[in-house]
Structure 1
Amino acid sequence: MLLVVAAALIDPEGRVLVQKRPEGKPMPGLWEFPGGKIEAGESPEAALARELREELGITLDADALTPAAFASEALGERHLVLLLYVLRDWDGVPEAHHASALDWVRPGDMRALAMPPADVPLVDALERLLD
């Protein structure tokens, strides 16, 4: 079992931040929600705060994370469980530290993006949540 956390950062205009996976990583060129693996001994919220600091250079209060949805997806010999949180309040300006690009998109426009299989069902859940 591979436990992963991700965030849907929502800006004041209702757009969601997505990042593009870089070359040299699995699924290069696909757009995804920022986040990453939960390390041993970490809570999901602590892991997401750490990942967003590493990936985007932002800081946040873990209490600002709102659980939104999850996805479950076979991933080769492993099984991925992806926990998605909504975040509307953070400190700093997101920058692509590990991704090849960042983009702010409306939830309805996310369907047109090539995304990893586990992220795809989260788009519908997120759109329902933000309507």
Structure 2
Amino acid sequence: MTAQLVVAAALVDDLTRPTRLLAARRSAPPALAGQWEFPGGKVEPEEDPVTALRRELREELGVGIQLGQQIAGPREGRWPLSVPGLTLVLWWAVPLGEPRPLEDHDALRWLARGQLSAVPWLASNAPMVEAVRASLEP
């Protein structure tokens, strides 16, 4: 079985000197509702991962993005997820426009480095949050 690829963005205020990260609160499915995550979603068959990321952020938040570097995870550059067979590729990005919770989320929140622990992140996103925390300016 081939692993299903998920893409997500660490949306920040600046790619060079980021000070804030955008967190998105899940509204569905019920088991995940109320937990916070990096916005993104599954790559469709025959879809390029970057194209999928741009599509997901338009659908979920109504924004385009300025794409930055990939944030390498521990499994061949990818991040493991709690669902078996799913791995995630995470990129730095800056939203082009004002993000709004349109699909799969009911709230968005900009968090400074010291505020990242203020929301309950999905367990599978916690290691990614720590990787991002190290790169945010105080």
Q: Report the TM range for the smaller structure's normalisation.
A: 0.7 to 0.9
* CA deviation vs aligned residue, 1:46-95 (integer Å, no higher than 9, x gap): 1100000000101135xx232013321342xx32211111013x422101
Amino acid at match of 1:10: V
Please list every run of 5 or more consecutive structure 1 residues that lacks an aligned counterpart in the other structure.
none
TM-score, with length taken from structure 1: 0.84
Say which of 16, 19, 28 aligns to 2:24: 19
Output the aligned Cα RMSD.
Answer: 1.9
- Moved beyond 3 Å, runs of 4+: 23-26
Q: Does 1:57 align with 2:62?
A: yes
> Under a length normalisation based on structure 2, what TM-score does the superposition of the two structures give?
0.81
Q: Which runs of 5+ in 2 are unaligned?
A: 74-78
Aligned partners of 1:5 and 1:48 also within 8 Å: yes
Partner-residue secondary structure (3-state), 2:135: helix
Query: For 1:84, which of 90, 104, 107 is the aligned residue?
Result: 90
After TM superposition, the structure 1 = structure 2 runs for residues 24-103 of structure 1, keeping only pairs within 5 Å, are 24-60=29-65, 64-70=67-73, 71-75=79-83, 78-88=84-94, 90-98=95-103, 99-103=105-109
Aligned residues: 126
> Identity of counterpart residues, as a percentage?
37
Aligned to 2:76: none
